[in-house]
Amino acid sequence: MRASGIFWLTSLAFLLAGCEPLSEVETEAVTDSPVTETRELESQYHNLRLRTVVEGLEYPWAIAFLPDGRLLVSERPGRLNIIDDGEVIKVGGIPEDLHATNQGGLLDIALHPGYDDNGWIYLTYSQGDAEATRTTLIRGRLDGETLADVEKVFTEGRASGPGRHYGSRLAWLPDGTLLMSVGDRGAEPPRAQDTADHAGTLLRLNDDGSVPGDNPFVDDEDYLPEIYSYGHRNIQGLIVHPESGEIWASEHGPRGGDELNRVQAGNNYGWPQVTLGRDYRTEATFNGAVRSKEGKTDPVIDWTPEIAPSGLTYVPGKAFENWEGNLLAGGLRSRQIRRVVFEDGIVVHEEELIREEIGRIRDVRKGPNGGIYITTDESDGGVYKLTPVR
């Protein structure tokens, strides 16, 4: 059976059970493939060139850019790769306690801001076994084709049944602290309102995993000190604006109600007490939730129908000068990138890009040369580069 058929059967089973359909299924092993295709596409204000960088990856999740021009790409089943001019080089040293199933596995990648001096690479993954897993952050250094000096930086405090809502996006703040999202883990959404639980939160950590002394709840014994914001369902896109320092996050709603949020320290984003989405099975209000509530922060954008948000990036205008200041938000189910246009802090326009061209979009990253790099959430996935046509 083809992977798409397996996915829809799995989704149907979960819908009938009143649960969220899982985004991923496990399939055949990866094969290497060279650059194969370039195509040109139309969009508003820029014509685009979409180039295949590498194909044959199994659910590639995240991209990071090494200073020497090579790419690091994670595959959810548990592989880390160096991509060197289309060649896929497997990196050893991934922790043996990684448990890959459904949405879990090897997830995000981020280089330390001082990478040139210390060589630290940060990775998130689902740690555990078939009974229970936790969202976990490690760091290590490349030693040839091996991840060496690996150490655990942070582990979610409470284990959960494996498979859903790990969050796991990483972003560095200008002060050298690290943001890390942790999903609500799916089975018990009210955990996102439990301030003694890491589930459903955005965390702020020092680079060694310790707690910054100015975190919003660091002196409140009713809150875990790592929490920066809470009431999140499953943040899958996360950036820090390079000019304003604002934190932007895209996250999944239930049926409808996907969100783009401007995240502020200490705020409660409402899930599951507040949502614009609906129950999967009945389309009724989700578990008695309301659409807005005092003390809970509303989203900047409500994507209904849902796009199933994924990677998020900012366009600085170096290459895409007509898109300067826009956000690009990936979509899994919608199989597109959504270009979001702001004016005086207000969203004034959105455009759909590369819809249905390459499949489910998992990561969207601005490259060091101004191009936009994309991974696809497919059993035969790949890495693509988007540039303007001059």
Which residues are designated catalytic?
165
- Distance in angstroms (rounded) separating the CA atoms of residues 253 and 307: 10
Question: Distance between the two ends of the chain, CA-based, in angstroms?
Answer: 43
- The span from the CA of 154 to the CA of 351, in Å, is 37
Residue type, 366: K
C-alpha torsion sign, points 57, 63, 66, 69: positive
113: CB partners within 8 A, 6+ apart: 172, 176
User: How would DSSP label each residue in 23-65?
Assistant: S----SPP-------EEEE--SS--EEEEEEEEEESSEEEEEE
CA–CA distances in Å: residue 110 to residues 107, 176, 373: 10, 13, 15
Tokens found for residue 292: 């807005």
Dihedral, CA of residue 369, residue 370, residue 376 and residue 382, to nearest 10: -30
In the DSSP assignment, the letter for residue 190 is: G
- Write the secondary structure of 317-356 as one string of H (helix), E (strand) and C (coil): CCCCHHHCCCEEEEECCCCEEEEEEEECCEEEEEEEECCC
Q: CA-to-CA distance for 369 and 150, rounded, in angstroms?
A: 30
- The partner residues of 235 in beta bridges, in order of sequence, read 251
Contact call for residues 367 and 64 (beta carbons, < 8 A) = no
Cβ neighbours for 196, distance < 8 A, ≥ 6 positions apart: 222, 223, 224
In the chain, which residue ranges form alpha helices assigned H by DSSP? 3-16, 115-118
Instruction: Count how many residues are written for the chain.
Output: 390
